């Protein structure tokens, strides 16, 4: 059982001992710290925070604790109840709120939950802001409101419709083209919020939808991370139903994966590639993804005459780089689409609408679309850390050894070779070194990773 306190929020497993797990007391403490932080940002009479949750079994309990802590601080709450991460993100500025909290542990299993924290723009807090909240929580210096100044909870269940309206109003989303394509699509909503909102979106787009695991019970029928090894059921059902494609989202609907008409993975890395290909064809410009994302985005960007930039891993870092370079689309290789014309956050609804527009206009199958992109294969491995392992020294040594190649030390060490790359970084949440590689074949990607592990083991024993 685990409690992880980081600059991006607090997450942990439900039950167990206080300060070791995400217990009710921990939820209250960190909600209070966030509330105090919000009140420190601006001196004003009234404060508002938007709160939403995914369908996790613990979601309602944690939500009530968080909301009532905030009203205890004199902060009004806009209660979206069952929601998604991107829905809360767009609601914050629409409600002129001071911040937002999404109660979700994203792709983690059902025993996990978390408080994901937003600023007044509906974007994730930066490192400095996150550090400040941890300091407030550690001090437990909370001053709660007197009885006449308690906040109020205002329930708003319209935001799925509002979010869908916002997506369909985007200039590059061609609703009529999608309707004319007469798509049949299987949706795996992993029994969470996506099982509600994605079919709602598809209905508005005139799609014939086949639902799989779309009851928002929070009892996930498979590991909720949208990876190939977890998605056997939808792959089979797409073929059985003779569907045009399958759509898979994680519990809070900020990661998006597609299944081809042949029941194969389109590739989570290629969700962003396909959406960027369409956006760049209509609005030329630049792109951003993180250092561990596929080189295919760079290739597609160059094809359209744009420039590609890489950020450190983490959504807040991607967003910062996107703003710095004024890019037209960006995101992460885990299926996260960030389209500034909508908002600066990963949004599967936006991704679905852009992808289906692209597919409808191309008038080809999903299999054919995937074949039109450069093929790269990834290997994702790790090394368990031991006390005697000096990670910083090892990374520095590796960077010096390959200094004749294109080396980035923005986030760990990434080495770009002509036909492949290697990215080494120390995990923020586990005692491991992550080793990501990409190459033209799976065998080569695995071999490159294995050889790097051998190199590191030699350095560690030297």
Q: What is the DSSP string of 236-282?
A: HHHHHTT-SEEEEE-TTS--EEEE-TTS-B--HHHHHHHHHHHHHHH
Instruction: Tokens 């005139």: give the residue.
Output: 206
Work out whether the CA dihedral 313, 120, 102, 346 comes out positive or negative: negative
**How is residue 380 annotated by DSSP?**
E
Domain containing residue 101: 3-157
120 lies in the same domain as 189: no
Whether the model clears a pTM of 0.75, i.e. scores above it, the answer is yes
pLDDT tens-digit map of 38-68:
999 988 999 999 999 999 999 999 999 999 9
Average pLDDT over residues 192-208: 98
Confidence bin at 1 (pLDDT 50/70/90):
low
**Integer CA distances (angstroms), 333 to 190, 249, 314, 339, in order:** 20, 14, 11, 14
Average pLDDT over residues 269-281: 97
15 lies in the same domain as 121: yes
| Residue at which a domain ends, from 157, 178, 212 | 157
Q: Output the average pLDDT for the chain.
A: 95
pLDDT tens-digit map of 313-352:
889 999 999 999 999 999 998 899 999 999 999 999 999 9
CATH number at 139 reads 3.40.120.10
336 lies in the same domain as 387: no
pLDDT tens-digit map of 119-163:
999 999 998 999 999 999 999 999 999 999 999 999 999 999 999
314 lies in the same domain as 231: yes
Give which of 356, 400, 300, 66 is closest to 80, Cα–Cα.
66
15 lies in the same domain as 49: yes
pLDDT reported for residue 2: 67
117 lies in the same domain as 226: no
Q: Which residues are catalytic?
A: 106
Round to whole Å and give the CA distance between 123 and 340: 12
238 lies in the same domain as 151: no
Round to whole Å and give the CA distance between 235 and 42: 50
255 lies in the same domain as 234: yes
pLDDT tens-digit map of 210-261:
999 999 999 999 999 888 899 999 999 999 999 999 999 999 999 999 999 9
Confidence bin at 428 (pLDDT 50/70/90):
low
| Residue at which a domain ends, from 371, 404, 435 | 371
CATH number at 438 reads 3.30.310.50
210 lies in the same domain as 110: no
322 lies in the same domain as 421: no
183 lies in the same domain as 242: yes
Cα–chain center distance at 79: 22
276 lies in the same domain as 385: no
Q: Quote the number of domains for the chain.
A: 3
| Residue at which a domain ends, from 371, 392, 419 | 371
């Amino acid at each position: 059982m685990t409690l992880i306190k980081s600059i991006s929020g607090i997450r942990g497993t439900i039950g167990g001992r206080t300060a070791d797990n995400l217990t009710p007391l921990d939820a209250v403490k960190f909600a209070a710290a966030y509330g105090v932080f919000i009140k420190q940002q601006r001196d004003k009479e009234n404060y508002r925070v938007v709160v939403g949750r995914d369908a996790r079994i613990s979601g309602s309990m944690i939500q009530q604790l968080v909301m009532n802590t905030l009203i205890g601080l004199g902060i009004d709450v806009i209660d979206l109840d069952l929601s998604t991460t991107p829905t809360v993100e767009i609601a914050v500025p629409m409600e002129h709120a001071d911040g937002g909290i999404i109660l979700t542990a994203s792709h983690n299993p059902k025993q996990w939950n978390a408080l994901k924290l937003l600023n007044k723009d509906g974007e994730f807090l930066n490192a400095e802001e996150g550090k400040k909240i941890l300091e407030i929580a550690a001090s437990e210096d909370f001053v709660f409101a007197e009885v006449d100044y308690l906040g109020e909870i205002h329930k708003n269940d319209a935001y799925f419709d509002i979010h869908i309206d916002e997506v369909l109003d985007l200039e590059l989303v061609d609703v009529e083209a999608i309707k004319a394509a007469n798509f049949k699509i299987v949706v795996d909503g992993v029994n969470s919020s996506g099982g509600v909102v994605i079919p709602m979106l598809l209905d508005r787009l005139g799609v014939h939808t086949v639902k799989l695991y779309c009851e928002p019970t929070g009892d996930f029928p498979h590991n909720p991370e949208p990876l190939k090894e977890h998605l056997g059921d939808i792959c089979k059902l797409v073929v059985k139903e003779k569907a045009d494609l399958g759509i898979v989202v994680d519990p809070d609907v900020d990661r998006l994966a597609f299944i081809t008409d042949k029941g194969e993975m389109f590739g989570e890395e290629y969700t962003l590639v396909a959406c960027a290909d369409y956006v760049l064809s209509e609005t030329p410009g630049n792109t951003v993804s993180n250092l561990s994302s596929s080189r295919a985005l760079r290739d597609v960007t160059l094809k359209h005459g744009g420039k590609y930039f890489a950020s450190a891993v983490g959504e807040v870092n991607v967003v910062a780089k996107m703003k710095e370079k004024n890019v037209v689309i960006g995101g992460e290789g885990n299926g996260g689409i960030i389209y500034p014309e909508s908002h600066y956050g990963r949004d599967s609804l936006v991704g679905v609408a852009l992808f289906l527009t692209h597919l409808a206009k191309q008038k080809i199958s999903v299999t054919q679309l995937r074949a039109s992109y450069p093929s790269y294969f990834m290997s994702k491995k790790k090394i368990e850390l031991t006390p005697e392992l000096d990670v910083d020294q090892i990374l520095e040594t590796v960077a010096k050894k390959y200094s004749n190649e294109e080396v980035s030390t923005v986030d760990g060490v990434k080495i770009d070779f002509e036909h492949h790359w290697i990215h080494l970084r120390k995990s923020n949440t586990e005692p491991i070194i992550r080793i990501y590689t990409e190459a033209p074949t799976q065998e080569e990607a695995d071999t490159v990773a294995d050889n790097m592990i051998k190199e590191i083991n030699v350095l560690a024993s030297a």
